[in-house]
């Protein structure tokens, strides 16, 4: 593993949502706190749990009912996404005081390359990390953890696999020996980029740890998984040439959204109402991005999620790339009816893929697509000016509608 002269940090906010809530309310400081999608719904998921709650065995993603069984005194709080985004932006500003190379990875994780500015702050990465950690704690009340290495892979795994387990929350990979000592013994499922499906494939090859993957012949991995095999091998060996850049733009391949319904929907027309609202939302996002999609995916699941035994996914190709709500809805409804077996629906997923520019599109001899486009854009203009619910379709006045509820949320969670 070649070590370069770069110094890259991954800054991760510990139990971010829960940390913000605990810093906001002093009475919560020593209590078990969890941020939950909807505290009034027992099946709602835990989005974040503080360290006190984690000591009771509460994990991110588990149901509130399960969490309360482990810890009856748990304080369950509804998320306030607007404030979390504001705090995340504030933290990014703190990092930018030390380097202009700050790249957000998620709302609570950010990379920073301090190679060119480290000498301005004493020359020690650990010392700089402690300084930034202190500033974040003082200005936001949130505790940050730092993984430090010579590239993003090293920084990410140092943070995820080591720093999170230390009291100080700061770990640096100095050299190859550090990597092999700290990272290689970890189970393969802990490696960045290895999901449950890939873990099964690797275990079948008797690759149990990150170190064993790193020492697997590259040719063997490339033969089985092509480019993905090489990516896995490079991560396991701590290799990464990608820059830390605030201008890094990833080409968006699809626009998607998921909704968890407040109750089980038993009727097709109830689900149809929600599908229409999701198509309206995705169509509007596509139009705002000046994109159209040529394929649509629909998924539906019951209480247990989208596992094959409890739900389905269907994907269909549109006759022509589209951002027109009516066309998206027509295809979404067809896919749902094709895949649904009558099992009560709790979750619905919709995504528009194959995005292309909307500046050039195919007119139709048999449908007035331009009229539909003008109608959609007129509705967009009203929503932009007066709010999401200023104009809605008649379906959104029924009991099945979720338009009013979603209008008050960001990313599916309350603002």
**Contact at 8 Å (CB) between 113 and 137?**
no
User: Active site includes 109?
Assistant: yes
33: left (phi over 0), alpha (psi -120 to 50) or beta: beta
What three-state secondary structure class fits 95? helix
Phi and psi at residue 111, to the nearest 5°: -90, 145
107: closest CA among 128, 93, 91, 130?
Answer: 91
Give, to the nearest 10 degrees, the angle between helix 369-386 and helix 325-339: 100
Active-site choice (21, 103, 109, 331): 109
Q: Which helix or strand (DSSP H or E) is residue 412 part of?
A: none
What distances in angstroms separate CA 284 from CA 135, 177, 288, 384, one per listed residue? 39, 52, 6, 10
Asked if 299 contacts 338 with a C-beta cutoff of 8 angstroms, the reply is no
DSSP string, 185-224: TSBGGGSTT--HHHHHHHHHTT--BHHHHHTS-HHHHHHH
Q: Are 373 and 324 in contact (CB under 8 A)?
A: yes
Q: Which of these, 6, 8, 24, lies nearest to 16 by C-alpha position?
A: 24
Q: CA-based angle 140:142:146, to the nearest 5?
A: 120
Nearest CA to 74 out of 104, 109, 44 is that of 44
Q: Compute the distance between CA of residue 142 and CA of residue 60 in angstroms, rounded to an integer.
A: 18
* Residue in 130, 140, 85, 134 with CA at minimum distance from that of residue 108: 85
Structure tokens at 319: 């006759």
Active site residues: 109
């Amino acid at each position: 593993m070649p070590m370069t002269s770069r110094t890259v940090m991954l800054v991760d906010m510990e139990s971010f949502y829960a940390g913000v809530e605990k810093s906001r309310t002093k009475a919560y400081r020593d209590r078990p706190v969890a941020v939950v999608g909807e505290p009034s719904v027992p099946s709602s998921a835990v989005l974040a749990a503080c360290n006190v709650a984690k000591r009771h065995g509460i994990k991110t993603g588990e149901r509130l009912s399960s969490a309360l069984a482990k810890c009856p005194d748990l304080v369950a709080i509804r998320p306030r996404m607007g404030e979390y985004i504001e705090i995340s932006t504030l933290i990014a500003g703190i990092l930018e005081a030390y380097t202009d190379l700050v790249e957000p990875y998620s709302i609570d994780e950010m990379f920073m390359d301090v190679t060119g500015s480290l000498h301005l702050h004493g020359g020690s990465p650990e010392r700089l990390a402690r300084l930034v950690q202190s500033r974040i704690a003082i200005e936001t009340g949130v505790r940050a953890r730092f993984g430090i290495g010579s590239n993003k892979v090293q920084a990410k795994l140092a943070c995820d696999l080591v720093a999170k387990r230390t009291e100080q929350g700061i770990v640096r990979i100095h050299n190859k020996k550090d990597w092999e000592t700290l990272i290689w013994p970890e189970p393969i499922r802990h490696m960045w980029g290895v999901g449950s499906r890939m873990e099964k494939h690797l275990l079948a090859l008797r690759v149990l740890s990150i170190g064993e993957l790193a020492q697997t012949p590259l040719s063997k991995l490339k033969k089985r998984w092509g480019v993905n095999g090489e990516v896995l091998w490079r991560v396991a060996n701590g290799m990464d040439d990608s820059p830390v850049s605030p201008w890094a733009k990833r080409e968006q391949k699809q626009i998607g959204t998921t909704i968890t319904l407040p109750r089980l929907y038993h009727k097709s027309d109830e689900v149809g109402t929600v599908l229409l609202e999701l198509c309206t939302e995705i169509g509007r996002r596509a139009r705002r991005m000046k994109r159209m999609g040529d394929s649509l995916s629909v998924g539906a699941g019951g209480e247990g999620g989208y596992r094959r035994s409890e739900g389905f996914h269907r994907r269909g190709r549109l006759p022509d790339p589209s951002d027109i709500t009516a066309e998206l809805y027509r295809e979404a409804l067809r896919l749902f009816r094709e895949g649904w077996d009558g099992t009560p629906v709790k979750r619905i997923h919709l995504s528009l893929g194959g995005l292309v520019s909307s500046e050039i599109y195919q007119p139709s001899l048999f449908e007035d697509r331009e009229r539909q486009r003008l109608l959609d854009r007129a509705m967009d203009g009203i929503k932009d000016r007066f709010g999401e619910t200023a104009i809605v379709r008649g379906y959104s006045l029924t009991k099945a509608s979720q338009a009013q509820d979603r209008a008050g949320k960001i990313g599916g969670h309350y603002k």
